[in-house]
Amino acid sequence: MDTPALRPGRNRNPCGSRAGTTSPSSATTAVVGVDAGLDSLFTLSTGEKIPNPRHEHRDRQRLARAQRNLARRARGSANRAKARLAVARVHARSADRRRDHLHKLTTRLVRETQTILAEGLSVTACGGGVRPHQESSSRTGRSSV
């Protein structure tokens, strides 16, 4: 995590802290498998689907306005520096939302289960990569199958 002084629009000395002790939960032997998906953020082996909150959609208009303001400012001006910080603030807010959602989700999974198994699937191996060329009879390089 970045230091508060280096993050745009953040206080140098944050007042509040959420760090604290948590009460130990009861012993459990539950096991859950986690599958990262395209339709939902995660699908658990229990059948629960955790939807993708799509935080960037909420701030899309605010980000577009801030970027338009930045584009209008003259390079090297103080107003451009302020506009650049406004864009960075919108990005930081979206990143904070994503981080907070994942933190809450993983905390809940750890409290409810003893063992968490994650799928080790390579996304590039799922057909998104370039296929090797086969012998072709046409000029375009595609096979006539």
pLDDT, residue 38, reads 76
Q: Which two tokens stand for residue 118?
A: 């994650």
Q: Where are the domains of the chain?
A: 29-122
d(CA 91, CA 9): 11
Provide the whole-model pTM.
Answer: 0.61
* DSSP output for 67-88: HHHHHHSPTT-HHHHHHHHHHH
**Residue 79: both structure tokens together:** 């107003």
- Mean pLDDT over each residue of the chain, to the nearest integer: 77
Q: pLDDT value at position 130?
A: 60
Label residue 45 by pLDDT band (50, 70, 90): confident
> Average of pLDDT values for 67-82?
96
Highest mean pLDDT among 3-12, 26-35, 59-68: 59-68
Give the least confident one: 31-45, 62-76, 97-111, 124-138.
124-138
pLDDT of residue 89: 93
Please give the pLDDT value at position 132. Answer: 62
Higher pLDDT: 92 or 33? It is: 92
